[in-house]
Amino acid sequence: MIFYKFILTKMSHSIILSIMILYSVLYIFSIIELLGESYLMADTLVLGLMNTLELLLTIPNIIFIMSLIIFWNNIKNTNELIIIRHYISLKKLILILSVFILIFSILEIKKDTLNSYIKNIKDIYLSNSIKDKINQKIFYYFDDQKLTITKLSGLNLKENIIDEVSIFRFENNEFIDSISSNQNQLIEKKIIMQESKIIKSSLIEDMRKEHIVNIDKYGEDLYNNKMKINITNKTKFDKPKVLNNAALIIVLFIYVSLFLSKNAIPKNSSTLKYISISFMIFIYSFVTTQIHLQSYNSIFHISVLLTLLVYLYKNLINE
């Protein structure tokens, strides 16, 4: 029981330390990036905190690896790892650390949802911090061969008012149509255009219904001091979530089996060697989860999962 408590305490301390290190580094870079904007210093510091938290929530896998390396290096250098492995098998060690594997697996799987919460809080803060009306913003939204130019005039985010909205749509470098209105409302990240006029190459007419523009895709560019912003839509593929999530969990188990194996116990074992192996495993798992094949996509991801399972089994069987 003493060993279990010692392992959990040491790993918890390593996680806290790795978070503090990463947070400090990312916060500095976030502040440097925000200094180019026209925010007040207080707003810059608060936004830096939010941006850093948002970045940390996108890399729980990296935080886990870093924490495990710190944990392994600390107990290896003091010969505590030798004592622990003398009394506790690798399988039991993995079982003890599975609570952390579970936590980081959930964070990795739910990171998009968690980031959306942070983003909403940040948007609310930014909209409340803007006191002056924004004279004009023009967004160029590229989607394959399509281009949509959205011009917002007299934008008052605090009062949810936009004096005028004009939208111009092109496809294959040819004009399709334009929609404009000076009767607009901003409701829940959507612009409700009323009494709009639509202009096509051959006619001008009134639209008989409201036109809705989703401004969530503009992100922080809606609040900064940039007047012209280019945005490119990135094609998203349907990923096999179950297989990718299973691969993620297996990879976390592999990290533990790698650093706490018998070969990694000696004090003179190469730190660079094991960090390099873990880095290659991370690159392999990251790249393969991003790949989308037009044919046999599921078979490919099943083969990736089986490869990781075989590697984990090899680590366990060698003990």
pLDDT tens sequence for the chain (319 residues): 677 888 999 999 999 999 999 999 999 999 998 887 777 888 889 989 999 999 999 999 999 999 999 999 988 888 888 888 888 888 888 999 999 999 999 999 899 889 888 888 887 787 777 666 777 888 888 887 888 888 888 887 777 778 888 888 888 888 888 888 888 888 877 888 888 888 887 778 777 778 888 877 777 777 766 777 777 766 555 566 788 889 989 999 999 999 988 888 887 788 889 999 999 999 999 898 888 887 888 888 899 999 999 999 988 887 6
Contact 87, 8 (CB under 8 A): no
Q: Give the pLDDT score at 134.
A: 76
The answer to whether residue 117 is domain-embedded is no
Domain boundary, last residue among 232, 255, 286? 232
Number of domains in the chain: 2
The pTM score is 0.79
Domain boundary, last residue among 232, 261, 283? 232
246 in the same domain as 103 = yes
Contact 133, 154 (CB under 8 A): yes
Q: How far apart are CA 5 and CA 9, in angstroms?
A: 6
Q: How far apart are CA 182 and CA 166, in angstroms?
A: 9
26 in the same domain as 53 = yes
- Residue 151 lies in domain: 131-232
Contact 290, 232 (CB under 8 A): no
The answer to whether residue 115 is domain-embedded is no
167 in the same domain as 248 = no
Q: How far apart are CA 128 and CA 215, in angstroms?
A: 17
Q: Give the pLDDT score at 1.
A: 66
